[in-house]
Amino acid sequence: MNELADQAPQASSSRRKSTNSGKDPPPLSTAQADILKRTEESLIRMLAERKVDTNVYGGAGSQSGDGRPLKENEQNVKNRMREARFNGHIQQSKQEADAWKELSDSYDSHRKSVQAEMEKRKRALATWKAKGKERASAEDLDDWDVERRDLPEELLTRGSVELARGIVLGEASKRNPLSGRLQELEYTMDRVHNFANAALQTTRVAEADLDRRFALLNISLASRSQPTPSASQTDPTALSSYIPPTHPRPPATDPQDIFRALSRIDAERPLTEVGDAARRAIREVQRATDASAGMAERRLTGVPPPTPRKPPGTPRRATTPGKGR
């Protein structure tokens, strides 16, 4: 500020030198120069502290020359609202940053405590290994026990922790007399399960075998119930002999055919389980089957291959080249 005050007389003197019109102001004495300097300093200080209103448009409460209040600038109102909103966002961001910092500090403190506890257990384990094998005691179990604050609430409310501790200490087997019987029950249930599976597989095999046998019996009955082909159908040159006969109406089942089919099934039995009457019936049925098989035998006459034709010779030209000259 002193430099500005010193430069003020120099600037005024330079302006006087540059201009040729007007009279120069009278020279100031030392007291007057001191007063001018103090006045400039106080004015500059008031401008710096914003004690002097330099608004050329007027404030919110300013009035015009005729006494009417002036309208506030809309851009200034928007700027103030934007500034208030931005300040609110900044404050909220600062609060969130403080909350995250507090959470991070708490996590770091918890991590350090857990690490310290793990290091303590590691050192204790090293000392126990150095001592050698010793019989475990109740104090050792208490040292290795899980703390309740490390367990979820579900395990604490259901009583699972006490049950697990009782099993580890061997108290549950002493109090519960059914522990031995439960082991035997598990073995018995496994055996029953195996027997049930074996029975199921046997039933399926028997069902498949019976289905196959009754299917063969049905096919045999259907083949025996068809009528004997006529002479026209046995002609090997007829094309109809290659087409299986169709029956619009299925013929009535003859009881004799049923007995014949049953006799074929009985033929598969061992000879020790077949009586004399059944043996005679089997021989009769076999004799009738052989006779009918010889009658129904068909023969196909082979067709000789055609005689190969002589290949054509070299084709001739349409006209002789030298004849038309």
221, part of any domain? no
Span 310-324, average pLDDT? 65
Whether residues 84 and 120 fall in one domain? yes
Residue 168, domain member (yes or no): yes
- Classify residue 163: in a domain, yes or no: yes
Query: CB-based contacts of 63: which residues, under 8 Å, 6+ apart?
Result: 69, 70
Domain boundary among 109, 133, 157: 133
Asked if pLDDT for residue 31 goes beyond 50, the answer is yes
Q: Confidence class of residue 180 from pLDDT cuts 50, 70 and 90?
A: confident
Residue 7 domain-assigned (yes or no): yes
> Are residues 1 and 44 in contact, defined by beta-carbon separation less than 8 angstroms?
yes
In a domain, 77, yes or no: yes
70 or 184, which is more confident: 184
* 165 and 122 fall within a common domain: no
Of the candidates 199, 184, 248, 252, the residue with the CA atom closest to the CA atom of residue 224: 252
Q: Find the range with the poorest average confidence among 49-53, 57-61, 82-86.
A: 57-61
146 plus 122 within the same structural domain: no
Is 90 among the domain residues?
Answer: yes
Residues 6+ apart with CB under 8 A from 145: 165
Residues 80 and 124 in one domain: yes
Cβ count within 10 A of residue 261 = 20
Same domain (yes/no): 103, 125: yes
Determine the structural domain holding residue 166 and report its residue range: 138-176
Q: Is residue 97 part of a domain?
A: yes
Sign of the C-alpha dihedral computed for residues 86, 89, 94 and 100 taken in this order = negative
CA distance 186 to 59: 95
Residue 289: the pLDDT is 79
* Per-residue model confidence as pLDDT tens digits over 68-110: 677 888 999 999 999 999 999 999 999 999 999 999 999 999 9
pLDDT of the residue at 240: 55
Same domain, yes or no: 129 and 90: yes
User: Are 128 and 158 within one domain?
Assistant: no
What amino acid is encoded at 121 in this protein? R
**Structural domains of the chain, count:** 3
Residue 5's pLDDT band (boundaries 50, 70, 90)?
A: very low
Give 69's strand partners: 63
* 215 located within any domain: no
What is the arithmetic mean of pLDDT over 193-211?
93
